[in-house]
Amino acid sequence: MLTRLPRCAECAGLPVRLRVKVDEPTTPGSQTEHLREWESPLYRDALAQFDLIARKMGLDENLYHRLRFPQRTTIVSFPFRREGYFKVDTVFGYRVQHVLSMGPTKGGVRFAPDVNLGEVAALAMLMTWKTALMGLPFGGAKGGVRINPRELSRAELQRLTRRYTAELMNVIGPQRDIPAPDLGTNEQVMAWMMDTYSQHIGYTVPAVVTGKPPALGGSVARREATGRGLVSLFPSAANHLGMRLEGARVAVHGFGNVGSLAALAAQQLGCRVVAVADYLSGVANDKGLDVESLIRWTSEKKVLQGFPEADAISGEAVLEVDCDILIPAAVGGVITKANADRIRAKIVAEGANGPTTVEADEILREAGVFVIPDILANAGGVTASYFEWVQDLQNYFWTESETVARLREIMNRAFDEVLQISIKEKVDLRSAALMKAIRRVAEAKLMRGVYP
């Protein structure tokens, strides 16, 4: 058991009212009704995880309540002109900043048809834990626009991005909140965000976003950082489990930035990538898929479907193929209590944010699956984003080998620390990672005190 955190000195001795009971359901008229604002399966899961660990750690009650909800939430609706000029759609955008006490906030922007406030809030909370775990000087944030980017022309995507950025002028900035790419956004979208922000400010501000193209102050190796960072943990994980990586079978669910580059890094490490999926379908080949050909195919055809020298399977089937390592790298909530007992991998390395529900996590734990949790496994992205932000502020850029070496070092140090906590506390890696992260945020909040 971790030692209890000291209580807030100013509050010591004062009666602390527990306004929200741990695990109390959100029912109309109940004291937890205000949870409705954030209602979504992902937010409920994020809270359930947090509640569990807060209880284990004996977290200060005031802090416990403080950390359950984001500090600042921005919801915007704005007009967006479609091709043809006369059609104007109204779309919804969000930016949620969970903890403002650690420095600027940091987190991705997703463009997806099902984006909502609860999902974005949950992801912002995960970002707080992730940045704290990695020792980065940020709180967590997340943003999104509810739209299907695959249906937009390039000009529409640019207009949407610029208007969304303009709506957020008061809440983002290099010392306020620094967006980055996520689901449905990429380097080009970050370039348009940076340009829009700079046009409003009146001079070029590269440090307002990360994940930019290197020509605009982006960091070399940022694009590869999440996938590569995740795979850089495989040797330590395999070593801990006494497993051979040479020829180990890997399945990857989601073949975008994270999935495709994780697959490539795994292949370069000597693993055999046997199945991959995108939003439409999956492909499998037990002899191994050539990841470079897959990347060429998808950059041309946009989807995996039709890739020769592979069997067509469903996306869901990719999660359940016979493999040693499964990398969920698409969306949240894909490993659930309905399919968790059919996962055959020995290691699940969470490239996506929140791919495993709380119930599924328990099933995997009982089955002895070694889950490398999202806040650790995919932290390479935000770590490289931190490098990019530092380089932009200093106008001094590192070489690729410096960047890759520092990334590998930070990732592996975090993995080792989390593994040690998990052994010492006899908990899984997710609990250990959350304990370390929550402790750091709690200490910072206690030291800062309550204003006024």
Catalytic residues: 142
Which residue, 184 or 217, is less far from ligand NAD as judged by CB? Answer: 184
Q: Which of 68, 185, 57 is nearest to 125 (CA)?
A: 68
How many of the other CB atoms lie within 10 Å of CB of 379?
30
Q: Are 233 and 377 in contact (CB under 8 A)?
A: yes
Residue 173 DSSP label: B
Residue 74 pairs in a beta bridge with 95
Tell me how far, at minimum, the Cβ of 182 lies from ligand NAD, in Å: 5
Residue 301 burial class via C-beta count within 10 angstroms: exposed 0-12, middle 13-18, buried 19 and up = exposed
Which residue, 19 or 337, is less far from ligand NAD as judged by CB? Answer: 337
Tell me how far, at minimum, the Cβ of 210 lies from ligand NAD, in Å: 9
Tell me how far, at minimum, the Cβ of 302 lies from ligand NAD, in Å: 9
Q: Whole-angstrom Cα distance, residue 373 to residue 405?
A: 22
Tell me how far, at minimum, the Cβ of 199 lies from ligand NAD, in Å: 25
Task: Name the token pair of 96.
Answer: 């949620």
Which residue, 199 or 285, is less far from ligand NAD as judged by CB? Answer: 285
Cα distances from 245 to residues 267, 324, 350, 367, in angstroms, run 10, 9, 18, 21
Residue whose CB is nearest to ligand NAD in the complex, by number = 256
327-357 burial: b if 16+ Cβ within 10 Å, else e: bbbbbbbbbeeeebeebebbbbbbbbbbbbb
Which residue, 125 or 442, is less far from ligand NAD as judged by CB? Answer: 125
Which residue, 206 or 259, is less far from ligand NAD as judged by CB? Answer: 259
Provide the sign of the torsion angle of the four alpha carbons 172, 174, 178, 180, taken in this order: positive
Q: Given the rule CB under 6 A, which residues bind ligand NAD? A: 108, 181-184, 226, 253-259, 277-279, 315, 329-331, 351-353, 378, 381
Tell me how far, at minimum, the Cβ of 61 lies from ligand NAD, in Å: 31
